[in-house]
Structure 1
């Protein structure tokens, strides 16, 4: 692989990692505009039939609405693996989320473990990944 190709691959890898981080930041801060910014107009989210299947931006709306009552939420990402293939990429990342909610007159700490498996596409006219 040429030096230019190596640098381009590193830039693409970093761009996908940044999108994963932005997703987490958007739901932690209830920043709908930031969450929408990671999705292409025709992006599709599949969280399973019992949770959400539909336009990508819609899942941001749903999650932010569900998190309104949560006192604190923090998503920590680890073990990010990305496979680049031209203008497409696949990623897998693990997430540990800490949530604090009011329950029965007290505050309850909940820890959730997730695995994010995503497909990405770079669309230059839309600004990249």
Structure 2
């Protein structure tokens, strides 16, 4: 295969992995989240730095408290190292609301970058090492109105796996 075509396929596979991570975190979709990292990966999310398995434990605990998250990714710069590894910088914007381990509910807007080392094994790209760089943190007041009041007729409201409407695409009419 032409090297340029393979590079385009690899770039798209890396972007797909980044998007799976966002869906995994936001929809409490464990399979999507796990599929974005190699099992022995390292993760530095600021409050946690260590084996990705520890990060997954923190995420599962947060999911149990019913957070509302939405991650958007923008600029993605991919620099291939040797055909099997790539340095990837991905800009993100995250809106998060939930109860922390201390029982206090908070809402925050975060902006920053995922600075990742991706590795290709077989035909699959995943994160081998991630450092989250925070460029913006905006602590926000919690909404006083219920979700039903805030969203009004704007339904369906986003949810978690398997109930979020994204998981019904192609399975239902309407």
TM-score band, normalised by the shorter chain? 0.7 to 0.9
Give 1:21's aligned residue.
19
Aligned to 1:66: 62
CA distance in 1, matches of 2:17, 2:120: 12
Q: How many residues are aligned here?
A: 119
Any runs of at least 4 consecutive aligned residues in structure 1 with deviations exceeding 4 A, and if so which? none
Looking at secondary structure, tell me which structure has more helix per residue: 1
Match of 2:87 in 1: 90
Name structure 1 gaps, 5 residues minimum.
Answer: none
For residues 91 and 7 of structure 1, what CA distance do their matches in structure 2 show?
Answer: 19
Q: Take 1:65 and 1:21, find their aligned partners in 2: how far apart are those partners?
A: 22
The TM-score normalised by the length of structure 2 is: 0.60
Which residue in the other structure is 2:118 paired with? 120
CA RMSD in angstroms comes to 2.2
Alignment equivalent of 1:44, drawn from 38, 42, 45: 42
Question: Once the 2 structures are TM-superposed, how far is the Cα of residue 56 of structure 1 from its aligned partner?
Answer: 1.9
State the secondary structure of the residue aligned to 2:37: coil
Paired with 1:7 and 1:55, the residues of 2 have a C-alpha distance of: 34
C-alpha deviation, 1:87, in angstroms: 0.6
Give how far 1:84 is off: 1.3
